[in-house]
């Protein structure tokens, strides 16, 4: 069970207010049969008689118990007492407890003894699962247990009281009371001031007229907004005045839209534009609408493939149909940008545009050498000084017009044109194909002209190709670099590798040089390949430079081994070989076979004067055989076929 204070505020002609236990009426007044609207007006009547000092008054108030309050269900309400009851008036209630949605009545009667404002608060307990609903006139003050409500005023005799009625009538809710109209409509104000009133003055902000002294006035409100209409009542010598007012809520008048449009041509060929003229008109309150209108055109209103992919928000659009067919056209118009998709006024002209294939259609197209490339956008990429050959593949054309931005020639009417680009930059090539009548079509492509790439012809020569261990080989660089046939004047970077079969040796620098002409001293017997890389970028030497490699170019022998060959008669045969190789030498200790990359293919410790090596599974290539004897090491080259 929850407790609350259910309050009715009354203002009576008493300056001293007391505390009175509520009593049950012997002859309660009947409950009101009108004036209620569930959830809007919880009491009736909403207006009370004018009260004067010394003048007897009686009134019946009907109260309805709410069914719910603050989201909780109400079972019943129990009225306990009055707080602030003014002297001169007595109160009684028809029943001290009523159930939800039932009614009770309060009788008050008597003669007020003083002018002023008085608040009558009725204390009550609410039984159920929630609190009384907060609302205007019954806004619960949970801290103090009191609420605000209806205000009644007691006047001195002879006091002017201002009041008036309106047509349309005032609309009341829990939170406000106002006259609700639409812009352009008229409200009739009629003075109902008391008999003490001699003359009145009206004030109508936002209305026409803005003021008046007549007892009845018709006021027109041309624009939307919230305004307050005020009436001031005066007695004859204006020693007594009173004011009454009411809120005027003026909503915007609806905009009436008459959608209309026309096309300049309703029968066209594919590729021919249709121009639409928008003849839509809009009015508001009988006048031309001056606000903004939003448009949404659909050029295939029957739901074809263009209905979602095409459209326009222009007022007067043009549209080119690319597929033959019969098309409906729709225009949606709204005062809201997004209203064109939802609540717009629309007009659909069914089967409005007929599109046929054009027997004289012209299509501009061409190929190029080098060809265009690109994932999303095609373009031609060449180097400065290079040429592009353009060949027209247009259809339906009676004449051609080329424009080659940045190229030579700059224009042409031929079907095939060779164009040279001498400047670096991004240019556009455009072909316009002309057909019958005014038919024409255009195709363009971008040409990217970059800096020319140097052409490297890498070459070198050694002053000697067979040496002994410890001797030096001098290499002469004969490389030439040209750009578009002319000598290259930029910087060229070089990288020598004097053991090109050994990748590791080349990378760590044991066998390398960056000199233009290089010299290298070999310290180990063997057969060596030599490479020279050249590039205009130092970084690209190792990945995209131009490389010249001379395989097995330098042979390095051990002088001791040469003497042994003569003394010991070392022989390797057959050479070339396909299945096996015979090796004869005095006092052999080890045989190692190495490929030209420096990789050991096999090694074998021996203790004999003759060995046969199986090479049937070897790849066809050149190999080095390293033969170690008690007297030294000899390296021979064999070929496996």
The answer to whether residue 53 sits within a structural domain is yes
Tell whether 31 and 132 lie within a shared domain: yes
Pairwise CA distance, residues 27 & 319, whole Å: 83
pLDDT at position 354, please? 96
Q: Which residues pair with 577 in a beta bridge?
A: 640
Is 361 a member of any domain? no
Phi, psi of 174, rounded to the nearest 5 degrees = -60, -30
Q: Which of 251, 268, 288 is the last residue of a domain?
A: 251
Looking at 209-223, 349-363, 623-637, which range is the least confident one? 623-637
For the chain, the distance separating the N- and C-terminal CA atoms, rounded to the nearest angstrom, is: 110
Distance CA 546, CA 398 (A): 50
Q: d(Cα 429, Cα 440) in Å, to the nearest integer? A: 17
3-state SS track over 77-125: EEEEEEEEEECCEEEEECCCEEECCCEEEEEEEECCCCCEEECCEEEEE
Choose the weakest-confidence range: 60-69, 185-194, 222-231: 60-69
Whether residues 345 and 382 fall in one domain: no
Q: What is the pLDDT of residues 470-515, one digit of tens each?
A: 899 999 999 999 988 889 888 999 999 998 876 544 444 456 888 9
Residue 383 backbone phi and psi in degrees, to 5: -110, 155
What are the DSSP E strand ranges found in 393-498?
399-404, 407-408, 411-412, 416-421, 425-434, 440-450, 455-457, 460-462, 466-468, 472-477, 480-483, 486-487, 493-497
pLDDT of residue 173: 55
Distance of alpha carbon 564 from alpha carbon 557, whole angstroms: 12
Name the helix (H) or strand (E) containing 508: helix 503-508
What is the structure's pLDDT at 39?
41
Taking CA atoms, 104 is separated from 120, 146, 223, 316, 567, in Å, by: 17, 20, 44, 67, 143
Residue 47 confidence (pLDDT): 56
Expressed as residue numbers, the domain containing 199 is 164-251
Running DSSP on this structure, what letter comes out for residue 374? -
Return d(Cα 266, Cα 328) in angstroms, integer. Answer: 11
**β-pairing verdict for 281-284 and 287-288:** antiparallel
Q: Is the pLDDT of residue 633 over 60?
A: yes
Same structural domain, 615 and 566: yes
Q: From residue 491, how far is each of 345, 488, 518, 531 by CA, in Å?
A: 73, 8, 18, 20
Same domain, yes or no, for 422 and 478? Answer: no
Number of domains in the chain: 6
Neighbours of 627 (CB within 10 A): 24
109-135 pLDDT tens trace: 888 888 877 766 666 666 665 444 332
Q: Which of 302-311, 352-361, 517-526 has the lowest mean pLDDT?
A: 302-311
Q: Which has more confidence, 631 or 463? A: 463
Q: Does residue 2 belong to any structural domain of this protein?
A: no
135 vs 17, more confident: 17
Parallel, antiparallel or unpaired: strands 318-320 and 273-278: antiparallel
The sheet that has 416-421: what strands, in order across it? 366-369, 387-392, 416-421, 407-408
Domain co-membership, 484 together with 527: yes
Q: How far apart are CA 282 and CA 293, in angstroms?
A: 9
> Looking at the domain assignment, is residue 11 inside a domain?
no
Per residue in 521-538, pLDDT (tens digit) is 998 888 888 999 999 888
pLDDT confidence of residue 116: 77
- Cα–Cα nearest to 35, from 57, 62, 10: 62
Residues 460 and 528 in one domain: yes
Of 184, 219, 251, the domain-final residue: 251
List the CATH number of the domain containing 468.
2.60.40.10
SS3 content of the chain, % helix, strand, coil (to 5): 5, 55, 45
**Position with higher pLDDT, 27 vs 543:** 27
Residues 267 and 339 in one domain: yes
CA distance readout (Å), 222 to 179, 182, 207, 387: 15, 9, 7, 74
pLDDT digits (tens, 9 = 90+) for 397-454: 999 999 999 999 999 999 999 999 999 999 999 999 999 888 899 999 999 999 888 8
Average pLDDT over residues 55-69: 76
| Percentage of the residues of the chain whose pLDDT score is greater than 90 | 42
Whether residue 21 sits in one domain with residue 141: yes
Q: In the predicted model, what is the mean pLDDT of residues 591-620?
A: 87
User: pTM for the complete prediction?
Assistant: 0.44
Is the distance from CB of 311 to CB of 303 less than 8 angstroms?
no
Q: Give the per-residue pLDDT at 603.
A: 87
| Stretch (H or E) spanning 261 | strand 261-263
Q: In what order do the strands lie in the sheet with 186-191?
A: 164-167, 186-191, 216-220
d(C-alpha 168, C-alpha 383), whole Å: 84
pLDDT at 444: 96
Kindly state the tokens that stand for 252. Answer: 């915007």
Q: Is the pLDDT of residue 15 over 80?
A: no
218, part of any domain: yes
| Nearest Cα residue to 6 out of 62, 61, 65 | 65
Burial class (CB in 10 A: 0-12, 13-18, 19+), 122: buried
Burial class from Cβ neighbours inside 10 Å (0-12, 13-18, 19+) for residue 4 reads: buried
Last residue of a domain, one of 526, 556, 586: 556
Co-location of 50 and 122 in the same domain: yes
d(CA 103, CA 62): 7
- Asked if residue 524 and residue 492 are part of one domain, the reply reads yes
Across 69-78, 361-370, 394-403, 566-575, least confident range: 69-78
Q: Is the dihedral of CA 32, 36, 39, 42 positive or negative?
A: negative
Q: Are 171 and 179 in contact (CB under 8 A)?
A: yes
User: 90 pairs with which residues across the strands?
Assistant: 109
Q: Residue 583: which CATH number?
A: 2.60.40.3080
Angle at Cα 603 formed by Cα 601 and Cα 608, nearest 5°? 140
Rounded CA gap, 83 and 22, in Å? 10
Residue 398 within a domain: yes
If asked whether residues 444 and 459 sit together in one domain, one would say no
Residue indicated by tokens 């005799």: 157
Cis peptide bond upstream of 238, omega within 30? no
Backbone phi and psi for residue 301, each to the nearest 5 degrees, phi listed first: -70, -5
Which residues on adjacent β-strands are paired with residue 72? 69
The top-scoring range by mean pLDDT among 9-13, 16-20, 70-74, 355-359 is: 355-359
The better pLDDT of the pair 309, 255 is held by 255
| Position 4 in a domain | no
Q: What are the structure tokens assigned to 631, written together?
A: 């007297």
CA distance 338 to 332: 11
In angstroms, the CA 216 to CA 165 distance is 10
Shared-domain flag, residues 465 and 486: yes
Q: Does 9 map to a domain?
A: no
Residue in the structure block whose two tokens are 């042979």: 555
């Amino acid at each position: 069970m929850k407790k609350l204070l259910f309050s009715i505020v009354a203002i009576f002609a008493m300056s001293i207010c007391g505390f009175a236990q509520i009593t049950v009426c012997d002859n309660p007044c009947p409950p009101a049969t009108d004036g209620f609207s569930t959830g809007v007006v919880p009491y009736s009547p909403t207006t009370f008689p004018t009260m004067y000092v010394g003048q007897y008054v009686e009134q019946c108030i009907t109260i309805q118990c709410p069914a719910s309050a603050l989201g909780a269900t109400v079972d019943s309400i129990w009225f306990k007492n009055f707080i602030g009851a003014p002297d001169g008036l007595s109160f009684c209630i028809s029943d001290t407890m009523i159930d939800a949605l039932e009614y009770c009545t309060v009788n008050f009667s008597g003669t007020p003894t003083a002018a002023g404002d008085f608040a009558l608060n009725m204390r009550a307990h609410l039984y159920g699962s929630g609190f009384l609903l907060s609302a205007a006139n019954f806004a619960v003050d949970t801290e103090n247990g009191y609420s605000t409500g209806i205000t009644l005023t007691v006047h001195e005799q002879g006091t002017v009281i201002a009041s008036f009625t309106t047509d349309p009538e005032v609309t009341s809710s829990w939170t406000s009371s106002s006259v609700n109209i639409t812009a352009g409509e008229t409200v009739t104000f009629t003075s109902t001031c008391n008999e003490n009133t001699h003359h009145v003055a009206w004030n109508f902000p936002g209305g026409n007229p803005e003021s008046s002294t007549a007892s009845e006035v018709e006021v027109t409100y041309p624009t939307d907004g919230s305004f307050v209409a005020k009436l001031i009542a005066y007695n004859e010598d204006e020693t007594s005045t009173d004011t009454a007012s009411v809120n005027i809520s003026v909503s915007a008048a609806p905009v009436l839209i008459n959608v209309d449009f026309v096309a300049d041509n309703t029968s066209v060929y594919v590729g021919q534009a249709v121009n639409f003229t928008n003849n839509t008109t809009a009015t508001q309150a009988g006048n031309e609408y001056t606000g903004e209108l939003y448009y949404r055109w659909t050029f295939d209103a029957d739901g074809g493939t263009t209905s979602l992919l095409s459209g326009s928000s222009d007022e007067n659009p043009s549209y080119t149909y690319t597929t033959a067919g019969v098309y409906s056209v729709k225009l949606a118009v709204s005062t809201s940008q997004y209203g064109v998709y939802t609540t717009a006024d629309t007009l659909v002209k069914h089967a409005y545009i007929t599109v046929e294939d054009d027997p004289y259609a012209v299509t501009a197209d061409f190929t190029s050498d080098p060809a265009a490339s690109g994932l999303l956008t095609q373009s031609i990429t060449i180097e400065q000084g290079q040429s592009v050959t353009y060949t027209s593949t247009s259809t339906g054309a009676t004449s051609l017009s080329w424009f080659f931005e940045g190229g030579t020639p700059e224009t042409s009417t031929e079907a095939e044109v060779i164009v040279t680009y001498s400047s670096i930059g991004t240019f556009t090539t455009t072909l316009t194909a002309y057909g019958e009548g005014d038919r024409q079509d255009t195709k363009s492509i971008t040409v990217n002209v970059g800096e020319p790439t140097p052409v490297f012809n890498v070459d070198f020569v050694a002053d000697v190709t067979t040496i002994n261990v410890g001797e030096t080989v001098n290499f002469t660089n004969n490389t030439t670099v040209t750009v578009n046939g002319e000598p290259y004047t930029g910087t060229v970077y070089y990288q020598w590798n004097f053991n090109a079969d050994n990748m590791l040796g080349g990378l760590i620098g044991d066998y390398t040089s960056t000199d233009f002409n290089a010299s290298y001293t070999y310290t180990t017997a063997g057969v060596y390949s030599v490479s020279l890389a050249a590039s205009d970028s130092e970084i690209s030497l190792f990945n995209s430079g131009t490389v010249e490699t001379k395989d097995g170019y330098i042979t390095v022998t051990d002088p001791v081994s040469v003497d042994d060959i003569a003394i010991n008669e070392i022989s390797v045969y057959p050479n070339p070989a396909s299945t096996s190789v015979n090796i004869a030498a005095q006092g052999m200790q080890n045989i190692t076979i190495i490929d030209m990359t420096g990789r050991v293919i096999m090694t074998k410790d021996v203790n004999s004067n003759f060995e046969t090596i199986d090479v049937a599974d070897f790849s066809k290539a050149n190999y080095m055989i390293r033969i170690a004897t008690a007297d030294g090491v000899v390296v021979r080259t064999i070929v496996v076929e």
